[in-house]
Structure 1
């Protein structure tokens, strides 16, 4: 009997060990398959964070990681952001948001919840007015918020008399003084973060963007519900392309803060426009916005030394640097491309509807 039991015990033992190994392999594979999501969740925890990257809130006592890590390469860590920005990010509820938050697919069930948000300064008022009128043509009853960039009383008096229209003067006093340098576009991520505290379904539209056809929101919602409900897609979505790569308009100093795993990817991937984007208040959106807002607050991040908006494109708008920078747009694209490795994960082309 002893000789019969011994092989049986060994067999059972081998089966158990095999099961454990399979389980470990499955768990490890699942971690890497969901690496983007696991990494993003790691960003707001205190686990395994380099002590040199830690910033502690004096108000809440919470500790945050202020060094960006490439989601595709955990050993590639960017330059630390200044801890002085902790209070602002907590005020904007980008760091200290309450879980659980809805998913993007849960937020696209009701078109009426969409809130349109835009900005204008005095010199952009004509563009802003046309943009507003184009939205109102197809969405007469939706809430529309216009943030003024130091708009004067003369132009404020011209604003529409609309019960669903709200004007807010952007308060720059609570931010570094260079936020008021409008051509650095720091105001965009900051206003987006401000307004997302109140409204979970924001449709951001720049002053120079107009709607050309009806059913923009419906078309977008249907596309998401049909083809993009997976977590493999970004919750933040752009709707217009640019005709050039990320590399063409990327100052290398930005990579000191947000290292990228692939220069070939930067050259082959088209940059998408940040002029009209859907911003649902989801966990993923806020985790991207952590870095987006930090870059806007950090003096040399969203305005690398020598950066300029005027480009010198050559015949190849993908592989050649055009000696220009797209400020907020370049930053947001880099964050999304690093995360998803494919612009189609955060882009739905609606050029026929918008322009």
Structure 2
């Protein structure tokens, strides 16, 4: 019996030794292969590492222009040609529509369903304070009764025209009222046909005829606008700046021009440098309405005041970005500062009879 036990133990030890020898041999083969690989393919030196790093950095830099180009959405030339952007555009003082010098600049506005009361009030005040001026209304989809009522007021005057804006000729987003992408198109149409325009939103009305200084300024510079206390960076979604290849911090102290009322002359400079990029943006939804943009939940008292307020102003935001670019981020040349009030908004009336900060159909800013 002792002999059998010893034999069994010896056999077990012999099996363990064979297993260890097998793993040792396998390890030796692996080490030998690694040694051969290191000899044949030596590790890269410092110069190679630096060279590879430079190549990767260069590739990252090359990505940036491609990202910018992705923002440059081409606009169909059919739209631009329709709006007067041709090889030989009609520029101020020339015009397509026959009108006397006294009738110009044309007073123009847009009117949508439910805005007939404001439009008629605007028309009456325009005829009261500027009786010689021609008034042009763009019909944004009035129903039959409102259109008939407006035409009846225009028929009583030889200086009133109603022109329908055919949304079917433009991208579908132009019809969305909250974007107001139609506003640059209306202004450009008025410029193409009349050479100069006093744009007034339908919720505004005239309270004075003291426009001589503003008109002179607009004719000299190409436009005249009324600035607000908010900087452009506060009323513009940050992604819109990317489309125009600029940065929000350049607009921290650039006072925005409101678009409820503005005077524009179709000079060569304004036609090419202002109206063309503005209309292109209006026709491109990703530009006029960048992802994440909204026009509610504004916080204009957020400090510092140049921070984005959370409210995007669509066509007005695009206009002010372009103005900053072509006037070196200064509004001094085109800002009206004569201290004369010519326009006033129609306010909503609260139950207490107080004026509400929300204008009827208009833009909203800091309450005074």
Q: What does residue 153 of structure 1 align with?
A: 144
- 3-state SS in 2 of match to 1:97: coil
1:1-355 alignment runs, 5 A limit: 79-98=70-89, 111-159=102-150, 160=153, 161-216=156-211, 218-223=212-217, 229=220, 234-238=221-225, 240-260=226-246, 263-287=248-272, 288-310=274-296, 311-316=298-303, 318-340=305-327, 341-349=329-337, 352-355=341-344
Tell me: CA distance 1:285–1:243, structure 2 relative to 1, closer, same or farther (3 Å): same
- Provide the aligned length of Structure 1 versus Structure 2: 265
| Cα distance in 2 between the residues matched to 1:208 and 1:263 | 30
Q: CA deviation at 1:220?
A: 1.7
C-alpha contact (below 8 Å) 1:120/1:147 kept by paired residues: yes
| Cα distance in 2 between the residues matched to 1:329 and 1:135 | 24
**Residues 320-354 of structure 1: CA distance to partner in whole angstroms, max 9, x if unpaired?**
22101111111001001111120122211355222
Tell me: CA distance 1:322–1:351, structure 2 relative to 1, closer, same or farther (3 Å): farther
C-alpha contact (below 8 Å) 2:208/2:342 kept by paired residues: yes
Tell me: CA distance 1:302–1:202, structure 2 relative to 1, closer, same or farther (3 Å): same
| Cα distance in 2 between the residues matched to 1:125 and 1:317 | 40
Q: After the TM superposition, list the runs of 4 or more consecutive aligned residues in structure 1 that deviate by more than 6 angstroms.
A: none
Tell me: CA distance 1:77–1:279, structure 2 relative to 1, closer, same or farther (3 Å): farther
C-alpha contact (below 8 Å) 1:245/1:266 kept by paired residues: yes
| Cα distance in 2 between the residues matched to 1:305 and 1:111 | 45
- 3-state SS in 2 of match to 1:197: helix
- 3-state SS in 2 of match to 1:343: coil
Q: CA deviation at 1:277?
A: 1.2
| Cα distance in 2 between the residues matched to 1:243 and 1:281 | 27
Q: Return the index of the structure with the highest Cα Rg.
A: 2
**Residues 133-172 of structure 1: CA distance to partner in whole angstroms, max 9, x if unpaired?**
2211111232111011111111012111322111112111
C-alpha contact (below 8 Å) 2:224/2:334 kept by paired residues: yes
| Cα distance in 1 between the residues matched to 2:334 and 2:306 | 22
TM-score (norm 1): 0.68
C-alpha contact (below 8 Å) 1:89/1:95 kept by paired residues: yes
| Cα distance in 2 between the residues matched to 1:286 and 1:259 | 20
**Residues 167-196 of structure 1: CA distance to partner in whole angstroms, max 9, x if unpaired?**
112111100111111111010111112222
| Cα distance in 1 between the residues matched to 2:257 and 2:239 | 20
TM-score (norm 2): 0.66
- 3-state SS in 1 of match to 2:163: strand
